[in-house]
C-alpha cells in the first residue's frame, strides 16, 4: 500500500539531524516554475493570496527570493523538516535508518511547491498550501498545474491495484483524487468524544494521522486491513461507523 500525507506550515530547520541519505526533489523543473512565480509576488500580494500576516509575508517573500532549487544547500529531509501536528504524531526524529527506508517505499507527502515528496527528500523552507489560487502559466491553480505531472508519475510508479491509504487533509488529497486513479482509496477518520457525540477535533485528528503513519512504519505494514488493529493514544477501530473503504476510529477520553 501507499500512504498519502499532507505537509505542514510549521517547520524545523534548526536541527541538523539526518536519517540515512537525503535525495533531490522529484519534480525539480516543475517546482522551479512554481518558485519563479512565487518570487514575483510582493509582500502585500502574498498577504492577500495566502491570507497570512505582514510578518509572515515578509519572511516568505525573503524565502521566495532566496530559494535556489538547483542547490541542496540549506535543505532538510522532509519528514524531519515539517513540524506540524501530523509530524508531532509521526515522530520521525526517532526513526532508525531501516524505518526511513520502509517509509520511503510507502509514504508520499504531497506539496504545493514540490509536488510529491519522499520522507527523505531534501527541501528548503517554504510556505505554499495546495489550495492556494496561484496561477502558473495557463494553469489556473496548483491542482491544475500538478495534475499532469502527478498522473504521469503514478502511471509509472504505482501498481493500479495497490491500495492508497489517505491520511492527507481534503485539501491535499484532492490533488490525487482528481486523477480518478483505478487504485482503491482507503480513507481514515479519527473522532473524539465531545459534548455527547464523536467529532473531528482538528489538532487531535492531525496528530492521530501522524501516529498512524508511524504505526505503519514501525510495524512494517503492507496490508491496509491491518490498520484496524491501530489502538494508540486511546483510539480504537469502530466497525459500525466504518465502511468498505473508510476506517473510523473513536476515542472516548483524550
pLDDT by residue, tens only, the chain of 254 residues: 999 999 999 999 998 899 999 999 999 999 999 999 999 999 999 999 999 999 999 999 999 999 999 899 899 999 999 999 999 999 999 999 999 999 999 999 999 999 999 999 999 999 999 999 999 999 999 999 999 999 999 999 999 999 999 999 999 999 999 999 999 999 999 999 998 899 999 999 999 999 999 999 999 999 999 999 999 999 999 999 999 999 999 999 76
Q: Which three cell numbers stand for residue 228?
A: 484496524
Distance, CA of 208 to CA of 191 (rounded, Å): 10
| C-alpha to C-alpha distance for 133 and 1, rounded to whole angstroms | 31
Question: E-assigned strands of the chain?
Answer: 2-5, 76-77, 107-111, 115-117, 122-123, 164-166, 185-194, 197-199, 236-237, 246-251
Amino acid at each position: 500500500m501507499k500512504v498519502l500525507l499532507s505537509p505542514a506550515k510549521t517547520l524545523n530547520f534548526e536541527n541538523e539531524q539526518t536519517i540515512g541519505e537525503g535525495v533531490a526533489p522529484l519534480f525539480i523543473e516543475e517546482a522551479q516554475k512554481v518558485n519563479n512565480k512565487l518570487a514575483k509576488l510582493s509582500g502585500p500580494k502574498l498577504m492577500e493570496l495566502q491570507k497570512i500576516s505582514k510578518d509572515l509575508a515578509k519572511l516568505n517573500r525573503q524565502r521566495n527570493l532566496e530559494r535556489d532549487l538547483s542547490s541542496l544547500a540549506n535543505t532538510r529531509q522532509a519528514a524531519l523538516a515539517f513540524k506540524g501536528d501530523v509530524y508531532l504524531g509521526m515522530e520521525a526524529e526517532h526513526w532508525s535508518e531501516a524505518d526511513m527506508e520502509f517509509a520511503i517505499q510507502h509514504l508520499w507527502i504531497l506539496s504545493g511547491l514540490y509536488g510529491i515528496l519522499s520522507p527523505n527528500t531534501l527541501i528548503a523552507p517554504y510556505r505554499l498550501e495546495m489550495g492556494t489560487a496561484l496561477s502558473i502559466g495557463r494553469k489556473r491553480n496548483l491542482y491544475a498545474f500538478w495534475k499532469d505531472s502527478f498522473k504521469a508519475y503514478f502511471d509509472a510508479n504505482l501498481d493500479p491495484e495497490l491500495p492508497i491509504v489517505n491520511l492527507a487533509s481534503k485539501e491535499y488529497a484532492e490533488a490525487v483524487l482528481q486523477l480518478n486513479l483505478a487504485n482503491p482509496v482507503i480513507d481514515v477518520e479519527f473522532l473524539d468524544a465531545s459534548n455527547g457525540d464523536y467529532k473531528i477535533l482538528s489538532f487531535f485528528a492531525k496528530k492521530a494521522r501522524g501516529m498512524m503513519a508511524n504505526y505503519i512504519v514501525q510495524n512494517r505494514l503492507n496490508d491496509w486491513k491491518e490498520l484496524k488493529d491501530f489502538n494508540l493514544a486511546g483510539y480504537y477501530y469502530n466497525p459500525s461507523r466504518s465502511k468498505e473503504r473508510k476506517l473510523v476510529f473513536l476515542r472516548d477520553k483524550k
